[in-house]
Amino acid sequence: MIKIFIFLIITSLSFTQNNQFNQTIFVNGKARKATFKVSRSSESFFNRENFFIKKGKIIEIISPDTFLIQNSSRLEEIKLIGLLDISTLQQKNLSKSIKNKITRKYLNNKVTIYKPKNYKDKGLDFNHAYLIKKDIIINLDILKQGLGIIHDGQEIFKPLKQIFVQSMEQAEKKKRGLWGKL
């Protein structure tokens, strides 16, 4: 097993007018530019007012947009909000390859499940949710890796909609996952 260590050193920090800051960081000895947005909201992004919240463990990746989660002593099939079911694609090898990548990354991970309380108003079923592993929104991470496509028929949590679209466009532009070689 090869371990890669990432060393992060902040060398400069400058704020822009729209609550962003630019910074130069070093990753494995190479300088990289990064831009971050700063939010001044004291509200929790995912809160109990808008979401049913549970803990669980991913025990199977059924398809790229459907995970089997064990929470307490129950098994629950969770469909990831915002992702189109690509397991029905004509190219079965592509779908299988994507499923394998997602399985390697997320199988047996502990997650927090966020199900919208107003799921019917959003065109969702009760088994639709956002999955979060520590500080990573798995639904979004799959788009960033180019391993998913946004589902136009589902309403994505408004603060996330633009980020989802930008992440998929960036993956396509950089030819990640579906958009390039797997």
CB atoms within 10 A of CB 114: 22
pTM for the model = 0.74
CATH 2.40.50.90 fits 51-177, yes or no: yes
Strands 110-116 and 74-80: unpaired
Q: How far apart are the first and last CA of the chain?
A: 21
Instruction: Report the C-alpha gap between 151 and 160 in whole angstroms.
Output: 13
Classify burial at 75, counting beta carbons within 10 Å of its beta carbon; exposed 0-12, middle 13-18, buried 19 or more. Answer: exposed
Domain residue ranges of the chain, discontinuous segments joined by + = 1-37, 51-177
pLDDT digits (tens, 9 = 90+) for 77-123: 999 999 988 776 666 678 788 999 999 999 999 999 999 998 888 77
CB atoms within 10 A of CB 168: 24
Residue 11 binned pLDDT confidence (cut-offs 50, 70, 90): very low
Encoded tokens for 42 = 């004291």
Contact partners, residue 66, CB within 8 Å, separation at least 6 = 77, 78, 79, 80, 85, 87
> Which H/E stretch holds residue 162?
helix 158-173
Of the ranges 30-44, 77-91, 108-122, 134-148, which one carries the lowest mean pLDDT score? Answer: 30-44
